[in-house]
């Protein structure tokens, strides 16, 4: 018999996700840089400052192929969903920042588990080396996602941009032109 998904924080987690309109990238960003998560929560991005960048972003969005069955999936945007096997996929170009990426795909697996009552797993596919890893909704991941949601709520209501130091990610961060670091 298929095991049902049960988590005593499901209702509170879903309520917070709905209220704050959280999605997968929030859970990735908050594990990389709190300032980046804050900017994303408050919809601050470089495109607002540069219309040419905005045009390029729109072009990229319309040319990036995603699994159409994921469209309209209550704000989720995974790369592919296997509804039969209950696996949600996320493709990444490199294997970097694995902890943060696992939180992103873990969020998808959790939301699908809450919505369907089945236990979903995540799968991260690294395109450069064609390897993949499984992300299981174990107690550690559930505790991590819960803690991330609390941190995101705190950042959401924080009107001041949080402090940030230069980290390795800054070199490729789209927010770097106006971030300033500290």
Nearer to ligand SF4, 94 or 116 (CB): 94
Least Å distance, CB 43 to ligand SF4, is: 14
Least Å distance, CB 181 to ligand SF4, is: 5
Task: Kindly indicate which of the ranges 19-27, 49-57, 76-84, 164-172 contains the residues binding ligand SF4, using the contact rule CB under 6 A.
Answer: 164-172
Binding mask 29-68 for ligand SF4 (x = CB under 6 A): ----x-xx--------------------------------
Task: Kindly indicate which of the ranges 42-50, 86-94, 103-111, 165-173 contains the residues binding ligand SF4, using the contact rule CB under 6 A.
Answer: 165-173
SS3 69: helix
Strand partners, 132: 125
Task: DSSP for 91-105, please give it.
Answer: EESSS-SHHHHHHHH
Examine residue 155 and tell whether it contacts ligand SF4 (CB under 6 A): no
- Site residues for ligand SF4 per CB under 6 A: 33, 35-36, 164, 167, 169-170, 173, 175-176, 179, 181
């Amino acid at each position: 018999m298929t095991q049902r998904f049960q988590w005593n924080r499901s209702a509170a987690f879903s309520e917070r996700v709905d209220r704050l309109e959280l999605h997968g990238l929030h859970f990735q960003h908050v594990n990389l840089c709190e300032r980046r998560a804050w900017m994303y929560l408050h919809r601050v991005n470089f495109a607002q400052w540069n219309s040419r960048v905005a045009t390029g972003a729109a072009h990229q969005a319309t040319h990036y192929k995603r699994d159409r069955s994921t469209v309209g999936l209550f704000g989720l945007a995974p790369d592919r969903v296997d509804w039969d096997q209950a696996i949600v996929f996320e493709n990444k170009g490199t294997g970097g920042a694995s902890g943060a990426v696992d939180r992103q795909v873990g969020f998808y697996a959790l939301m699908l588990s809450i919505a369907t009552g089945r236990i979903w797993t995540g799968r991260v596919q690294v395109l450069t080396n064609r390897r993949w890893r499984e992300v299981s909704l174990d107690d550690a991941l559930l505790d991590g996602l819960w803690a991330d949601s609390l941190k995101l709520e705190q950042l959401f209501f924080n009107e001041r941009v949080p402090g940030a130091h230069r980290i390795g990610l800054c070199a490729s961060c789209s927010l770097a032109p106006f971030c300033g670091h500290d």
